[in-house]
Amino acid sequence: MKRFRFKFIYLLAASLGYLCQPMHAFSQTATPQVSAQSADAVHDGQHDFDFNIGAWKSHIRRLQHPLTGSKEWIDVNGTVTVSKVWQGRANLEEIEADGPTGHLEGLTLRLYNPESRQWYLYWANSQGGTLGAPNVGEFKNGRGEFYSQDQFNGRTVLVRQIYSDITQNSYHFEQAFSDDGGKTWEANWVASLTRESAAQTAQQQSSSDESRQRDFDFNFGRWKTKVSRLQLPLAGSTKWVEYEGTSLVRPVWNGRALTAKHSTAGPSLCEMVLQTSHRIRLASSSHSQTTAAERGKPIGS
């Protein structure tokens, strides 16, 4: 029997601390129809975020009270670490930062959709421990733009996030809100990032957390995997199929979250992502349902 590859990733997030949440994704751009001849010339963006892989220092300026006419900004400094998933067709960004409002922790799971040729950016913070709806967009001429819609202080706003000025060792990020349908934009989160050297990227492991958020520490590392899967669930079927492969589990937020990448071989083909909003496994001490905009933290910091 011909064997196929079976791959998926799941994200397990635990909540602790304070971090503002990014905006949800929103896109109203119609997909243009193209001929078979011109379709080959459409940009394949699955490696557009390769520049971001590695460890970065981030200096962030955050507008304290967006859409109020306020000019009060605060400064935040932190680190960003980005690792590849699926040979670059997805990646995971982790951020930790400190500023006047406290310690910030968050992560972004970025997934490339080869059919739409767009990136979907899913954000989670250590306070809520859940992934929100994706920010959707793409890169053109070295500039990435991602748009979303959300509620901010009871008002519907559009959100624009831009990656620009990209070099091998630096890039710029900006998030802006619009409350007039995109006619005008007010920046509220501006970050300048520079790449860290290899010697600077060693992570310090915290030993102060004694809560249940450490329950999955046993799972870290590389594993041989054997999976039995019921072929037709809830159909009265008793036919099972067998898979064998490997799993790689790594910590996020010093062990308060983790990612697991699985690669197995079996008699059927399936490639999927298990996401918090649908099938995420959680160990959260808080499930705050405040909107993305009210928490105000962008994914691309």
Q: How far is residue 298's CA from residue 287's CA, in Å, rounded to a whole number?
A: 19
Q: Per-residue pLDDT for 80 more than 70?
A: yes
Looking at every residue in the chain, the average pLDDT score rounds to: 74
Q: Indicate the domain borders of the chain.
A: 46-202+290-295
| Residues in CB range of 167: below 8 A, 6 or more apart | none
Q: Per-residue pLDDT for 162 more than 90?
A: yes
Q: Between 254 and 176, whose confidence is greater?
A: 176
Q: Per-residue pLDDT for 289 more than 50?
A: no
**CA dihedral for 38, 165, 198, 261, sign (positive or negative):** negative
**Amino acid sitting at position 235:** A
| Residues in CB range of 39: below 8 A, 6 or more apart | none
Q: What is the CA radius of gyration of the chain?
A: 20
Cβ-based neighbour number of residue 217 at 10 Å? 10
Residue 221's pLDDT band (cuts 50, 70, 90) = confident
Position 17 scores a pLDDT of 36
pLDDT digits (tens, 9 = 90+) for 176-219: 999 999 999 999 999 999 999 765 554 444 433 445 566 777 67
Position 211 scores a pLDDT of 52
Bridge-based pairing of strands 4-14 and 270-274 is parallel
Q: Per-residue pLDDT for 90 more than 50?
A: yes
| Overall average pLDDT of the 224-242 stretch | 79
Q: Which residue has the tokens 């193209």?
A: 34
Position 256 scores a pLDDT of 62
Percent of the chain with pLDDT over 90: 37
Residue 43's pLDDT band (cuts 50, 70, 90) = confident
Closest listed residue to residue 22, CA positions, set 217, 153, 159: 159
Match domain 46-202+290-295 to its CATH number in 3.40.50.800, 2.40.128.20, 1.10.510.10, 2.40.10.10: 2.40.128.20
Residue 222's pLDDT band (cuts 50, 70, 90) = confident
Token reading at 66 = 């967006």
SS3 readout for the chain: CCCEEEEEEEEEEECCCCCCCCCCCCCCCCCCCCCHHHHCCCCCCCCCCHHHCEEEEEEEEEECCCCCCCCCEEEEEEEEEEEEEHHHCEEEEEEEEEECCEEEEEEEEEEEECCCCEEEEEEEECCCCCCCCCEEEEEECCEEEEEEEEEECCEEEEEEEEEECCCCCEEEEEEEEECCCCCCCEEEEEEEEEECCHHHCCCCCCCCCCCHHHCCHHHCEEEEEEEEEECCCCCCCCCEEEEEEEEEEEEEHHHCEEEEEEEEEECCCEEEEECHHHHCEEECCCCCCCCHHHHCCCCCC
Position 255 scores a pLDDT of 63
Position 39 scores a pLDDT of 45
Position 77 scores a pLDDT of 94
Position 76 scores a pLDDT of 93
Position 249 scores a pLDDT of 76
Q: Per-residue pLDDT for 175 more than 80?
A: yes
Position 51 scores a pLDDT of 95
